[in-house]
Structure 1
Amino acid sequence: MLEEMMKFIKEVDKLKTIERRTYVSDGSRRENSGEHSWHVCVMAMTLFEVFERKNETDLFTSIQMLLLHDIVEIDAGDTYAFDVNGYEDKHEREVRAAERIFGLLPEGARTKYRSLWEEFEEGKTNEALYASIIDHIQPLLLNISTEGKSWMEHNIYAHQVLNRNEWIKAASPTIYSQINEWVGMGIEKGWLLKE
């Protein structure tokens, strides 16, 4: 049992080698998926007070989801938020990765971790909604911090950012208002393309 756990722990260290499209806040380099997972957990802890459904949401469960949700990128790679072609087989790639990577664990942990990963992917519970909100806004924060560096590299339009995050309006109007503010700033500064 301990040997299986250690094998899994060693395997997930590979998440630190998966480069994302978003830059760290000083713009010096791209962040990796391990850094992203840590950052979204800190964000989830910090922003929980403004989440309108906090009284019906278990923060610890959301944090567990955030720690586990990108582990599949070890095999599947990071799919950029606006990569239409990458999304065509994203789910299949990630399911295969989940089977292999969570399969390294002893049965009890394997079932629990896989269940948390699937709950996040389905996005139906308050915990999964909150985790997904945080996962969506973290790259926006980093784009604002780097004067739209990743947005400009990929010629992203304001409507793309708004469409991708529209669902957040119903789940958390407070956090969605921050997204609107950031998009407005991105347009004003020329970091996001207009129609």
Structure 2
Amino acid sequence: MNFEHLLKQVAFIHEIDKVKYILRKTKLFNSERNENDAEHSWHLAVMAIILAEYANEPVDVLKVVKMLLIHDVVEIDAGDIFLYDTNISHTNTAAEQKAAERIFGLLPTEQAEELIAIWEEFESGETMEAKFARAMDRLEPLLQNISNKGGTWKEFDVRYEKVLEKKGVIAKGSEHLWAFAKELIDESVKNGILAVAD
């Protein structure tokens, strides 16, 4: 038996363990501990399963889950860029594309091509699955910040207008979830955990 195919898969499995060490700025719900990318991806995947009924159109949930489980794998090489970073663009496609090709390229060709295509679909945000996956990616940190009484919004002086701008992506995947999120954002201002621009 030729183990070359399996050895490539195992090499990929070893490599993605590094996702567990990539810390995000956002903290766990009601916690002082930063979330890591693996926790984030797992949480989003479960959210997609639970909230799929709210997608603007029916979605292939398995495809959405695949997107969410692999979408941050590129951060092993490219690093995590904070959504509200004012110095670096959150969209670092050149570095991330190179990372996707290297990391997914560890896999046998057919699997590598499939995962690169799914990752690229998520990044382009054009299909309904990608739009819904991206909605999950924006909703989870919002819920975390609210649970942490402002969280990264307060820590990095992020204002209401910027939150609306960045979180508006949720509407492309789910108008229902955006209406819910918008209400939470507005309540955050009333509750003093999110400031408006001066």
* TM-score interval for Structure 1 and Structure 2 normalised by the shorter chain: over 0.9
Contact 1:15 1:74 in 2 (8 A): yes
Contact 2:134 2:173 in 1 (8 A): no
Corresponding residue for 1:15?
19
Q: Tell me the CA shift for residue 191 of structure 1.
A: 1.6
Unaligned runs of 5+ in 2: none
Normalising by structure 1, report the TM-score.
0.94
Q: Deviations over 1:19-56 (max 9, x none)?
A: 000000022200000000000001101111122312xx
Higher helix share: 1
More displaced 10-residue stretch of structure 1: 98-107 or 15-24? 98-107
Corresponding residue for 2:99?
97
Counterpart of 2:177 (choices 171, 175, 189) is: 175
Question: Residue type of the partner of 1:142?
Answer: Q
Q: RMSD of the TM alignment (CA)? A: 1.3
Count the aligned residue pairs: 193
More displaced 10-residue stretch of structure 1: 85-94 or 145-154? 85-94
Q: Structure 2 matches for 1:180-195, cutoff 5 A?
A: 180-195=182-197
Q: Deviations over 1:68-103 (max 9, x none)?
A: 100001111111001132217721221111111011
**Is residue 77 of structure 2 the alignment partner of residue 75 of structure 1?**
yes
SS in 1 for 2:113: helix
CA distance in 2, matches of 1:141, 1:88: 20
Contact 2:23 2:37 in 1 (8 A): yes
Contact 1:27 1:149 in 2 (8 A): no
Corresponding residue for 2:143?
141
Unaligned runs of 5+ in 1: none
Contact 1:19 1:32 in 2 (8 A): yes
**Is residue 29 of structure 2 the alignment partner of residue 25 of structure 1?**
yes
Q: Deviations over 1:50-71 (max 9, x none)?
A: 22312xx111101100011000
